[in-house]
Amino acid sequence: MMAGTPTSAPVAESTVATAPPDAEAGVAAAPLAETATPAVAVPGNKPRFITFEGIDGAGKSTHIAAVADLVRKRGVEVVVTREPGGTALGEELRALLLSEAMHLETETLLMFAARREHVSQVIAPALARGAWVISDRFTDATFAYQGGGRGVPADKIQALADWVHPGLVPDLTLLFDLPREVAAGRMAQSRQLDRFEVELTDFHERVRNEYLRRAAATPARFRIIDANESPEMISKILENIISSL
């Protein structure tokens, strides 16, 4: 390391009340993070960047708060955030991305535009002050959805990643894996679908395959979670993974 829907979690939530310092010159002040119990970073604690990934309906988002609580129990600051989004501008881009039809390259570029804000305003400052960052999706999602799903060449996505966040790679990526039919069944029961969620099964199969391909290519970073397991079992698995960090 420098290592749904546009509703909840509008900007990154942190356990610290103050806005983080700007990571780089020329970056606008960070939006105020929502506050919770102030925590003091433990000296010597290595900041970690953890991402949650998976196809829509795999159930990853329901486990994020619990993982954040587990980490907080160690007495470290935890910033919980999401992509696209995590900043005020990023959330506006998210609303567009999830609702407006656009060229697949526009979609890719807007994902990285939102990410640029997110890295500058939230992720890099948090890691720099010793916090752990837990993000509901990051650049693996662009490789999976825009790359695997829409067919944007991986070298183009990699070039954007190298430009927008050179050297920043998650320490751990939790990939919630589920057959598309099961995920679709879950979503049909629970909510109104956004522009990505209504894509046909083939699209999500390609997204899933690209996630699995990336996990196989960098196994040290990925843990694949069988999202068919019960929520209780998944919680236990996540507890074991986090306690091993």
Q: Is 137 in the site for ligand TMP (CB under 6 A)?
A: yes
HEC assignment per residue over the chain: CCCCCCCCCCECEECCCCCCCCCCCCCCCCCCCECCCCCCCCCCCCCCEEEEEECCCCCCHHHHHHHHHHHHCCCCCEEEEECCCECHHHHHHHHHHCCCCCCHHHHHHHHHHHHHHHHHHHHHHHHHCCCEEEEECCHHHHHHHHHHHCCCCHHHHHHHHHHHCCCCCCCEEEEEECCHHHHHHHHHHHCCCCCCCCCCHHHHHHHHHHHHHHHHHCCCCEEEEECCCCHHHHHHHHHHHHHCC
Q: Is 145 in the site for ligand TMP (CB under 6 A)?
A: yes
Q: Is 79 in the site for ligand TMP (CB under 6 A)?
A: no
> How far apart are CB 142 and ligand TMP at their closest, in Å?
4
From candidates 10, 31, 84, 125, binder to ligand TMP by CB under 6 A: 84
Q: How many CB atoms lie within 10 A of CB 38?
A: 11
Nearer to ligand TMP, 48 or 204 (CB): 204
From candidates 83, 91, 177, 210, binder to ligand TMP by CB under 6 A: 83
> How far apart are CB 152 and ligand TMP at their closest, in Å?
10
Q: Is 142 in the site for ligand TMP (CB under 6 A)?
A: yes
Q: Which stretch binds ligand TMP (CB under 6 A): 139-147, 167-175, 182-190, 213-221?
A: 139-147
> Judged by CB under 6 A, how many residues of this single chain contact ligand TMP?
14
The residue with tokens 């535009």 is 113
Site for ligand TMP in 9-68 (CB under 6 A): 56
> How far apart are CB 87 and ligand TMP at their closest, in Å?
13
Q: Is 196 in the site for ligand TMP (CB under 6 A)?
A: yes
Determine the straight-line distance between the first and last CA of the chain, rounded to whole angstroms. 15
From candidates 89, 141, 160, 215, binder to ligand TMP by CB under 6 A: 141
Q: Is 4 in the site for ligand TMP (CB under 6 A)?
A: yes
Q: Is 82 in the site for ligand TMP (CB under 6 A)?
A: yes
Nearer to ligand TMP, 136 or 171 (CB): 136
> How far apart are CB 204 and ligand TMP at their closest, in Å?
9
Alpha-carbon gap, residue 10 to 89, rounded angstroms? 10
Q: Footprint of ligand TMP on this chain (CB under 6 A)?
A: 4, 56, 82-84, 111, 136-137, 141-142, 145-146, 196-197
